[in-house]
Amino acid sequence: MPYFRLRSDKRAFAALIFLIVMAGVLWWRFGRGPEVAAVAPTRGMAVEIVYGTGAVEPVRWAKVASLLRQRIVDLCYCEGKPVAKGDVLARLDDKEARAQLNELRAREDFAKREFTRVNELIGRGVASAQAFERISSDLRQIQGLISVQMEKLDAYTITAPIEGVVLRRDGEIGEIVEQGQILFRVGAPTPLHVVAEVNEEDIPRVAVNQTALLRTDAFPGRRLEGKVYEITPMGDAIAKTYRIRIALPNDTPLHIGMSVEANIVTREKANALLVPADAVVGSRLLVIEGNRVRTRQIEVGIRGSRHVEIVSGLLEGERVVTPALDGLPDGQRVRVVDRNPGSR
């Protein structure tokens, strides 16, 4: 009997030790509060930006479109080549239009002969003035139709509207081109600019001569800059955007047609006290005091995409919770993990 009591006592003791260890682990894991990351504020350049998206375009260029729906019968293969104003870029099938012109000219010849005949009859006193007026009116009408038809024929020949380089050609011989379809883009390959759209709520902060930091997937990690030089006075009421134009330097690596993201620098301040943007909620943040968090009201200055300037309410040596966690009450016990300010 004592043997079984001894075994039972050992099992109870082992169970007690296990419970004590588990309780210690649970307290160590959860009793000290949730784990939070903390970072100390740093000094640096506070930058406020306005975001926009756009594309690279020549400053001087033109879109050349067809005025007619017709088949392409001739096309220049001149992408990248210089052209002068008026050079022929394409021809459309004008057989039907020329047939109509020939018919009008035949009617004009007949009307001219009739005019001469009636004029002679009037000289002999045989024809009336009304007959002369009628044939004169017919002749003028036909000649007017000929002028209109000749102008229509001009639309069958597509020419360069400006001097420049053929930047792009679309369409092939035999293809039916639609009215208004762009077939060529002609312009000067330099200088270039970015035409970007900015949300209407941000446009009041954008001004001429502000620096724009540009990003494109074609040059990842490369610093590309431009200068805002024009802001369209009237916005797009449907898209709720305003158009701006950003001048590019002559040595820019950007190519015509590239899509870019533009970050327009609207404000800068050197040696500002900065914390990560995700540490600030409205005008407050969570400050570490010992092993607890305290809610602190602050005065915010420049708000950037990655960092926020703290004007007052925080000292340099203090640490703040980042990202700020919802539901942490003031005075909550926490487990702090220090984070490198430059890790994000």
Quick one: which of 261, 246, 263, 248 has its CA closest to 202? 263
Greater confidence (137 vs 64) lies with 64
197 falls within a domain = yes
Over residues 5-17, the pLDDT tens digits come to 545 555 665 555 6
- Give me the domain span that covers residue 165: 61-91+160-188
Q: Beta strand pairing status for 176-177 and 211-215?
A: unpaired
User: What single-letter DSSP state applies at residue 204?
Assistant: G
- Where are the alpha helices (H) located in the chain, listed in sequence order? 2-26, 95-123, 129-154
Model pLDDT, residue 57: 95
| CB burial string 236-265: b at 16+ within 10 A, e below | eeeeebbbbbbbbeeebebebebebbbbbb
Band (pLDDT 50/70/90 cuts) for residue 239 is very high
Give the CATH number, domain containing residue 288.
2.40.420.20
Average pLDDT, the chain: 87
55 and 202 belong to one structural domain: yes
122 and 150 belong to one structural domain: yes
Model pLDDT, residue 290: 86
Q: Beta strand pairing status for 211-215 and 157-159?
A: unpaired
Among 53-62, 116-125, 306-315, 320-329, the range of highest mean pLDDT? 53-62
241 and 274 belong to one structural domain: no
Model pLDDT, residue 270: 92
Greater confidence (11 vs 216) lies with 216
Model pLDDT, residue 252: 94
Model pLDDT, residue 317: 87
Report the distance separating Cα 256 and Cα 192, nearest Å: 8
> How many domains does the chain divide into?
4
80 and 166 belong to one structural domain: yes
User: What single-letter DSSP state applies at residue 78?
Assistant: -
Lowest mean pLDDT among 30-34, 113-117, 142-146, 179-183: 30-34
